[in-house]
Structures are given as C-alpha cells and as structure tokens.
Amino acid sequence: MRSSTLIAAAVLVATAGMTGCGHTRGGKSERSGEAMQPTREVPSSAEETAPLRAGDRMPAVEVAGMEGRAVSLSGLVSTKPALIIFYRGVWCPYCNTHLGALGTIEPQLLELGYQVLAISADRPEKLAETHEQFGFRYLLLSDSRMEAARAFGIAFKVDDATVQKYRGYGIDLEGASGRAHHMLPVPSVFIVGTDGVIRFAYCNPDYKVRMAPQDVLAAARGAVQ
C-alpha cells in the first residue's frame, strides 16, 4: 500500500514531553485500590480517554492468543513482570515501526526479568499475519472485543468519517477486528508488576508519537528498583 509506505517513512518515535496519561512511578492515584471494569460508554475521540495511571491496579480481563483461545492477562502478569504494549493493528505503519524499534531493547528487557505483551484490536488470525510478516518475538494478543482497552481506559470510537477515510486507504477496521464496533486503543505502554499494580504508564492521543525505546528501557529499569 503506497500511502502506508510513505507514512512509515515519516514515522515519529519520540517522547514528546511524556504527554498523555500519567507516567510517574510510586504512590497511589485517587483511582487505585481496585481493578477497573470496562467503561459503560466509550469516548468518541482519543483525547477524551481516561487511561489508568501508575499506582492503579491492572484490571482482570481476558484477551486471545493467535489460536483464538482465551488468555487471562492477570494470569500472565502474575508469573512475571510485564511490559504491555497496546497498538492499533497490523495495518498501522506507525505501530509496526514502533514494535520493530522496541525489538532493539528486548534482550535488555528479558534480562531485567520482563515479558513483553503486545495487544491490538486485531482478530487472532491477524496476529499470525503480523508474526509471519514482521517476525516479532513478543507475545501477540488479540483484544478484538476491546474489553482490555476499555478496562485500561484507552479505548475510543472512530467516527464514521474517519472510518470511510481509512477505507479509502485500504484499511478495513471491521475486517481487522472481525467486529463492527469501530473502536481503537490509544497507543500505550504499561509496566505492571506481578502484584498487578501498574508501575508506569504512557499514553499519547497522537498515534504518530510513540515512546522511544531507550525511554521505555529507562522506565523498565526504574520500575524494578
């Protein structure tokens, strides 16, 4: 897809002043103490989302693996600290570029004792496509029903005009997720301990701006201290 190639060439991977959701470590936020359940209403824009923050407890939600089987996110995290990456889907060149960039620090993350979980709105079949096309070594997980993204407070509904514009670019949100909800996650980075408490959170409503790998590594190192 020609337009995607041009976009990928101009991708921005930056911290941009760490805007977005709270990213400080330590202490409890006013919402901490209980796992949040999926919101009743999904915001109509990325700017209106209310992501979980450092000190909040990770919600108890299920996602799906490449084979389509349900996977407890809490169960995964209880065995090993996790770097959780929420991305939009295999159709997004910004996401693919960012995931590829994060691969440069994966050995250090593993050495620190982390597992890397990459979650998208793609249906399980699309995860296999992502794995085959890009060879990512992360554990790819499907949140096609957007329950995890909603529980983390990062889900928003794409307006009809944008859905149509994406179709003009050859991007079919319904085909990617297998559902007609037209929801996407705000690209985000969460670091979660085995106790289920979020140690670090970064979310930026501007999907073109991503957290630089070295900043992710610095946050991961700080979270284990």
Give pLDDT tens digits along the chain (225 positions).
333 332 333 333 444 334 446 433 333 333 434 444 444 589 999 999 999 999 999 999 999 998 899 999 999 999 999 999 999 999 999 999 999 999 999 999 999 999 999 999 999 988 887 777 777 778 999 999 999 999 999 999 999 999 999 999 999 999 999 999 999 999 999 999 999 999 999 999 999 999 999 999 999 999 986
> According to the 3-state scheme, what is the secondary structure of 131-185?
HHHHCCCCEEEECCCCHHHHHCCCEEECCHHHHHHHHHCCCCHHHHHCCCCCEEE
- C-alpha 200/C-alpha 43 separation (Å) is 23
Structural domains in the chain, CATH included, are 2-223 (3.40.30.10)
Q: Given the structure tokens 């990928």, which residue do they identify? A: 8
3-state DSSP assignment of residue 83: strand
Residue 134: CB atoms within 10 A of its CB come to 14
Rounded to an integer, what distance in angstroms lies between the CA atom of residue 34 and that of residue 76?
19
Task: Fill in the DSSP letter of residue 13.
Answer: E
Distance CA 152, CA 159 (A): 21
Helix (H/G/I), strand (E/B), else coil: 14: coil
Burial of 2 by CB count in 10 Å (0-12 exposed, 13-18 middle, 19+ buried)?
exposed
Q: What pTM value is reported for the model? A: 0.84
